[in-house]
Homo-oligomer: A and B are copies of this chain.
Amino acid sequence: MSVTYPRGFAAAATTAGLKPSGTPDLALVHNTGESDAVAAVYTSNRCRANPVLWSQQASADGRARAVVLNSGGANCYTGSFGFETTHATAERTAELLDIDALDVLVCSTGLIGVGGQDFRDRILAGLPALAETAQAAPAGGEAAARAIMTTDTVPKTVEREGTAYRIGGMAKGAGMLAPGLATMLVVLTTDAVLDASELDAALRTATARSFDRLDTDGCMSTNDTVILMSSGASGHRADTGEFTALLTEACEDLTHQLHIDAEGAGHDIVITTRGAFSEEQALEVSRAVGRSNLFKAAVFGEDPNWGRVVAQVGITSAQFEPDAIDVTFNGVPVCVASSPGADPSEVLFDRRVVVEIDLHAGTAEGTILTSDLTHDYVEENSAYST
């Protein structure tokens, strides 16, 4: 299922030997349908990995036939040699699938700086088996989802059914670079008949409401990529409104899976700001709170430390009266009108922690998902590359 739930897609995985664990590390998603329409969004980090530089160019015309993804190396800051590796990956895949190299997108994830001769050799050597498997057993969506895992503990996949068409998808990572090597890579597929500009509009709406609101540690990856391909194999011209809603649902589902599997997290934190002048300001406040190490460490200690919430509200540009802020932790109003409210010991903690902030400055709201700051986070990220 996963990316092969919609008709017109083949997917497969193989082990190229990029990961010390010896688990599968190379994946392919091949659009075999009539349409080759594609849309993609990439990291806004100005230092981008070679596969991102390549795929941005290759997808600019709204057409792509295949995506090759590897874990075990980010191929980022590896110079022109690294770019040539990405290029060679696309060329070789194109040969094997009998398509154009500029219709092959490439995604990489793993350690920055890894992308040398050995990395190149192993990927190129792994491609024939990958293409062969995709042709012999095309329904390899689950295998592909497993091959892109890095520190993920479970594969992330999604399926949705619309009016006579389907949407499928797979994801890895925990949002941003964060934590560790958890670049977010997402491939979404559909057999609905939609052109590239319709896919692009739907994808931008869906990502803005899902992946963009997951901010586990404030760090932005050099490799983040979300790709949406349409095979048109349903023959059904989808209603764009319904499709966008369904795609958003699928992306929210994957976002939730990324959130609860964030590396080193002890609590899944949901921060909603209400009563804001605008949605943008609500999101700014929720994000500022979600990026406070003091707040995140307090949640790890199950301490409903509302002072650290209000202090973060104060560094934003949002409209509010400093005397009128309310904060609840899991429904308990611990801060009312910027003063102590209910006894913080009334707050019951669980894996999921919901923090609600009311600015009393309007009617807009916005939610950001984050994780707590834990010993595991420090441990995993201090001991990662060496």
Contact = CB atoms under 8 A, between A and B. Distances in A.
Interface stretch (A132-140, A184-192, A376-384): A376-384
B77 A338 contact: yes
Interface stretch (A165-173, A214-222, A230-238): A214-222
A297 interface: yes
A154 interface: no
A79 B47 CA distance: 46
A386 interface: yes
Given A178-B294, A386-B301, A76 B45 contact: no
Given A77-B340, A381-B294, A322 B219 contact: no
B378 A298 contact: no
A216 to B, nearest CB: 10
Contact of A77 (B292, B298, B310, B382): B310
A78 interface: yes
A75 to B, nearest CB: 11
A177 B381 CA distance: 24
A240 interface: no
A364 interface: no
Given A47-B313, A177-B294, A180-B294, A307 B76 contact: yes
Interface string A65-104: 0000000001011110000000000000000000000000
A308 B177 contact: yes
Interface in A327-346: 335, 337-340, 344
Contact of A338 (B47, B74, B220, B298): B47
Contacts of A42: none
B113 A307 contact: yes
Contacts of A78: 339-340
A62 interface: no
Nearest to A311: B222
Contacts of A373: 293, 378, 381-382
A60 interface: no
A307 B111 contact: yes
Nearest to A179: B294
Given A314-B222, A386-B303, A293 B294 contact: no
A151 interface: no
Nearest to A325: B47
A79 B310 CA distance: 13
A378 B322 CA distance: 28
Nearest to A222: B311
A47 B386 contact: no
Contacts of A209: none
Contact of A340 (B113, B316, B337, B338): B113
Nearest to A316: B46
A23 interface: no
Interface string A258-298: 00000000000000000000000000000000011110011
B384 A112 contact: no
8 contacts: A46-B322, A47-B310, A76-B307, A77-B310, A112-B305, A219-B293, A297-B381, A300-B382
Nearest 6 interchain pairs by C-beta: A112-B307, A301-B382, A47-B314, A297-B381, A79-B339, A45-B314
Interface of A: 44-48, 74, 76-79, 111-113, 177-180, 217-222, 291-294, 297-298, 300-301, 303, 305-308, 310-316, 320, 322-323, 325, 335, 337-340, 344, 373-375, 377-379, 381-386
Given A222-B307, A301-B383, 10 more contacts: A46-B314, A77-B335, A77-B339, A177-B311, A219-B292, A219-B311, A222-B310, A301-B382, A303-B382, A377-B378
